[in-house]
Amino acid sequence: MTTTITRGLETTGLAKSFGGVHAVDNATVAFHHGKVNALIGPNGSGKTTFFNCVTGMIKPDAGSVSYRGEDITGRPPHRIARAGIGRSFQLCRVFPRMTVLENLLASVRSPTLPGWLRSARQRGDIERARELLMRVGIDHLEHAEARDLSYGQQKLLELAGVLMTDPETIMLDEPAGGVNPALLDRIANLVRALNAEGKTFLIVEHNMDLVMSLSDHVVVFDRGAPIAEGSPDEVRADPRVLEAYLGS
């Protein structure tokens, strides 16, 4: 019996330099579609630059990015989002003086507030936004301004904003950063539940307890390139990973 492997997010020879620094260096890697993938590595190993190349925030110098077998290299972020990839950022990107509900509507609507609300009422986006706020557990803050939320609550708001576009693959950049243990558990449970519903995840994270408990597949970067990949247990025991983190 032949097993069919669903192609997801893949890069071939991806490279990006800043001056003489090779932030991403000939990175060829395939993430497991339908699974929770983690991308780990020491500080400065190129993880966020890799994210930015994949999602069109910056253009790679060389190599390619493909998603579901389609070349998406160098496309602008909104076109990559339409292809089915959503992402969060290492530092939360919310509109601080807008309400929690308005922040979610902003992720799917036109650039003026009347446009957001008018089209939202027509298309049911307000209802969807409220459902997502309830799902991430901050529906009681619907009318609060985003600047009044804790940092962990802003992370939940950003995740809800990503979900507004219903992406097939969700890329999270350090979701545990600055989050208290209770909210971190909520984020982890959301990832597990969404993955069970068919969402693919690619998570950059330094919290190794979270990575090892949440991930199906782990890729390790060092100096801009993948040096190891496998299950959490395989990666944990790989001497190349230990050397990258601890030094030879």
Q: Is the pLDDT of residue 194 over 70?
A: yes
Least Cα distance to 202 among 222, 242, 229, 179 occurs for: 229
Q: What is the DSSP string of 60-96?
A: -SEEEEEETTEE-TT--HHHHHHTTEEE--SS----T
Predicted pLDDT of residue 197: 96
84 or 89, greater pLDDT: 84
* Every domain of the chain and the residues it spans: 18-84+169-248, 94-166
Predicted pLDDT of residue 40: 93
Query: pLDDT digit string (tens) for 62-74?
Result: 999 999 999 999 8
In the block, tokens 């597949």 appear at 217
Q: How far is CA 186 from the centre of its chain?
A: 16
Task: Report residue 107's pLDDT band, with 50, 70 and 90 as the boundaries.
Answer: confident
Predicted pLDDT of residue 18: 92
Mean pLDDT of the chain: 88
Q: How far is CA 219 from the centre of its chain?
A: 14
Predicted pLDDT of residue 248: 46
In the block, tokens 């292809």 appear at 83
Task: Report residue 90's pLDDT band, with 50, 70 and 90 as the boundaries.
Answer: confident
Predicted pLDDT of residue 245: 75
Region 112-136 average pLDDT: 74
Tokens found for residue 245: 């983190």
User: Do residues 172 and 202 make contact, with C-beta atoms less than 8 angstroms apart?
Assistant: yes
Query: pLDDT digit string (tens) for 146-164?
Result: 999 998 899 999 999 999 9
Task: Report residue 110's pLDDT band, with 50, 70 and 90 as the boundaries.
Answer: low
Region 170-185 average pLDDT: 88
Q: Is the pLDDT of residue 5 over 60?
A: no
Query: pLDDT digit string (tens) for 196-221?
Result: 999 999 999 988 889 999 999 999 99
Fold assignment, 18-84+169-248: Rossmann fold (3.40.50)
